[in-house]
Amino acid sequence: MRIALALAVFALGWIITPAWAAEPAPCPIPEELVTPDEPLTAVRAAIKSHLPIHILAIGSASTNAAPGGPHSSFPYEAVQGLRAALPGTEITLSVKGRRGLTAAEMAPLIEQGLKEDHISLVLWQTGTVEAVRGLSPSDLEDALSEGARAILDAGADGILIDPQYSHFLHANVDLEPYEQALEHVASLFPHLTLFRRFELMHSWADDGVLDLERMEPDERHAAIARLHQCLGAALTRFIMHGVEQSAEQ
């Protein structure tokens, strides 16, 4: 593994900084949950060619809002981590979406965003609204496929991000069909992979590391900010591992 990593670093021509490889993460991050199933070839190509990495984040409330405004959301935290890990590389973030949007309503936003700029990576957080409303999982899959085709046609990489974990959601909503839809679409398209936010947050709650629903009211603001920092750190590692995998091919 160390030899492969060294070769990846040599091929890309950048130095791995402590920001993601050495410094302790704000929460425990199991390697199996930050290892993508597909390499991120478009991101690696931008790095190798010394081009900017333009990231488009599409989602609902957790992607667009967090304490302190959108700049403390987990996509922004991930971009901050990437900037530290890739010094000298310009990395930009564009965020689209709002609370309550379904994947079908987000798909046109992806197409719009891909036309506005040369996007290297799309972060697509979705599935929660469909699950809570009891909408058709097959409709979710159709919408995901539509967005995935747009991402593929634009030559970008795509990361699907599944629902966030909560005790209430876990107890009252059957998430499995929607998770299966996300997993299935991610398996169908090259350069598309699934970031398992639900499983990651579930592990933190079970281990007593970070459990928003069991926080005192006066602790929630800080806990939500920490959650976005933890998710951002995990997503940074996920992306960097995807770049390494691409370099090894």
Domain boundaries, the chain: 2-248
CATH fold, domain 2-248, is Rossmann fold (3.40.50)
Q: What is the pLDDT of residue 24?
A: 66
Q: What is the pLDDT of residue 13?
A: 39
- Dihedral (Cα; 247, 39, 148, 182), 10-degree rounding: -170
Q: What is the pLDDT of residue 65?
A: 61
Q: What is the pLDDT of residue 8?
A: 41
Cβ(127)–Cβ(92) under 8 Å?
no
Q: What is the pTM (predicted TM-score) of this model?
A: 0.88
Cβ(60)–Cβ(125) under 8 Å?
yes
pLDDT in tens, the chain (249 residues): 333 433 343 344 333 443 445 556 788 999 999 999 999 999 999 999 999 999 999 998 888 765 555 557 999 999 999 999 999 999 999 999 888 999 999 999 999 999 988 999 999 999 999 999 999 999 999 999 999 999 999 999 999 999 999 888 888 999 999 999 999 999 999 999 999 999 999 999 888 888 776 767 777 778 888 889 999 999 999 999 999 987 766
- Strand, coil or helix: what is 64? helix
Q: What is the pLDDT of residue 9?
A: 37
Distances (CA, A) of 138 to 30, 76, 109, 145: 31, 31, 20, 10
Q: What is the pLDDT of residue 184?
A: 97
Cβ(121)–Cβ(56) under 8 Å?
yes
HSE of 18 in the Cβ direction (CA atoms, 13 Å)? 2
What does the buried/exposed string (b/e) look like for 182-203 if buried means 16 or more CB atoms within 10 Å of the residue's CB?
beebbeebebbbbbbbbebbbb
What is the C-alpha to C-alpha distance for residues 128 and 140, in angstroms, rounded to an integer?
10
- Strand partners for 192: 158
What is the C-alpha to C-alpha distance for residues 62 and 166, in angstroms, rounded to an integer?
13
